[in-house]
Amino acid sequence: MRSIIKTSFAAAVAAAIASTASAELTGELKIISDMSNPAPRAVMEGMVADFQAMNPDLDIELTIVDREAWKTQIRNALGANPPDVVNWYAANRMRPYVDAGLFADISDLWAEEQFAALESTKGAMTLDDKQWGVPYTYYQWGVYYRKDIFEELGLSEPATWEEELANCQAILDSGRKCYTIGTKFLWTAGGWFDYINSRTNGYDFHMQLARGEVEWTDERVRQTFANWRQLIDMGAFIDDHQTYSWQEALPFMLNGEAASYLMGNFAVAAMREGGLTDDQLDFYQFPKINPDVDYAEDAPTDTFHIASGAENMDNAKAFLRFVTSADNQSKINAGDALGQLPVNSEASISDDKFLQEGFEMLSSNASGGIMQFFDRDFDAEMASVGMEGLQEFMVFPDNLDDILMRLEETRARIYQ
């Protein structure tokens, strides 16, 4: 759906955000966004309306496309007659478009004073020592758990792998499963690998594996799977998880048949809608496995980029300054908007308890590094084959040697 957005906006808000632009802009600005779900769409349209209010003589053309369809359309869109600004993802998911010369180098923006407040996200936007886009929101992953079940069993939040295993055994002894999960669409298994591998071998090793620099048959990778198998052999996960989507696996936790879910913060709304109260639901950071390894966290980051062929480069850069400003970040990530975490350290955080806990965790206790998630950090084909193998391992752990050989053959072919 295409719409030309030209609206007035409250003077107070315009004044609050006017500092992001030194003068009103003229000409055109063409944006393609994949923020197609209702809440993100409203946020995107609101951002454009706010920016339009600051620049009434600017003609803004906003095209909103389906989020899944955009994954196959973006390359063609960036080719002939590209827009100025597009949505995409951080880290290695940028690389195909960076390597193809389709994203513009915007390192000059990141050198500006305003961008010091985004320093913690700079690494996710950096390839080859240059910056290729800006983030606009991110969210934490962690273990969401039934606090009431933990209290019933006298359990506390685990800080170590030994405590995690002990808690799990107590939960199993009570007739429940430790974790719900739905791996029908594979990616949820990637979350478990991210955490167990980074907690076993560290962030740097995990990213080396993601870049194809480490063999899947490496003994350090095998140790990750050995740690994971401890849970599988205990029967920690719900049965037949390969038949459920992540949403279809929620009832096991809602009904108390499973005690926890390793998942992104976006699942909280569904848990609340399913009847869990904040007195029943809580969150903890995935525990340490190797005491010599710092915490690394999955915190997927959604982004804006400027097309290398943009015809309105100055206007596009002004829009990215606006998107990342503290006032706009506070507004779009509020609980009644995206309900996620702002990327600007000077922005305000929603008072939602899970966002507060997530922000505290990522700000003060993620010194190991920030991962973008398995299917974003790894090459797309490697991620697809890899997640198939991860799901297979969860169902048939005895197949590990065959799985690792298959993944290694894929790695050798892709990264040769």
Q: How would you write the pLDDT of the chain (416 residues) with one tens digit per residue? A: 333 333 333 333 444 444 444 478 999 999 999 999 888 999 999 999 999 999 999 999 999 999 888 988 999 999 989 999 999 999 888 989 999 999 999 999 999 999 999 988 898 899 999 999 999 999 999 999 999 999 999 999 999 999 999 999 999 999 999 999 999 999 999 999 999 999 999 999 999 999 999 999 999 999 999 999 999 999 999 999 999 999 999 999 999 999 999 999 989 989 999 999 999 999 999 999 999 999 999 999 999 999 999 999 999 999 999 999 999 999 999 888 888 999 998 999 989 999 999 988 988 888 888 899 999 899 889 999 999 999 999 999 999 999 999 999 999 999 97
Q: What is the pLDDT of residue 13?
A: 41
Q: Are 202 and 285 found together in one domain?
A: yes
Domain count, the chain: 2
Same structural domain, 160 and 104:
no
217 and 111 co-located in one domain = no
Sign of CA dihedral 231, 233, 239, 243: positive
Residue 358 lies in a domain: no
Query: d(Cα 144, Cα 190) in Å, to the nearest integer?
Result: 17
pTM, to two decimals: 0.82
CATH number of the domain where residue 387 is located: 3.40.190.10
Pairing of strands 130-131, 301-306: unpaired
Residues 43 and 165 in one domain: no
Please identify which residue in the block is written with the tokens 């300054």: 321
410 in Cβ contact with 381 (< 8 Å)? yes
Q: Do 133 and 33 have their domain in common?
A: yes
Give the residue carrying structure tokens 């507004």.
Answer: 331
Same domain? 186 vs 333: no
Does residue 222 contact residue 216 with C-beta atoms inside 8 Å?
no
**Considering the domain boundaries, does residue 292 fall inside one?**
yes
Four-CA torsion 83, 88, 93, 98, nearest 10 degrees: 30
Q: How far apart are CA 37 and CA 263, in angstroms?
A: 20
Same structural domain for residues 151 and 179?
yes
362 located within any domain? no
Domain co-membership, 293 together with 314: no
320 belongs to a structural domain: yes
pLDDT of residue 18: 44
Q: Beta strands 58-64 and 27-33: pairing type?
A: parallel
Domain residues for the domain of 114 are 2-137+301-349
114 and 248 belong to one structural domain:
no
| 361 in a structural domain | no
The Cα-based distances of 90 to 8, 93, 264, 407 in angstroms read 32, 6, 17, 24
- Specify if 372 maps to a domain: no
Residues 173 and 45 both lie in one domain? no
* 259 phi and psi angles, rounded to 5 deg: -95, -20
Q: Which of 311, 332, 349 is the last residue of a domain?
A: 349
Contact between 274 and 210 (Cβ < 8 Å): no
Answer yes or no: do 53 and 89 share one domain: yes
Domain contains 371: no
In a domain, 364, yes or no: no
**CB burial string 76-90: b at 16+ within 10 A, e below:** ebbeeebbbbbbbbb
- DSSP one-letter code for 350: P
Same domain for 320 and 283: no
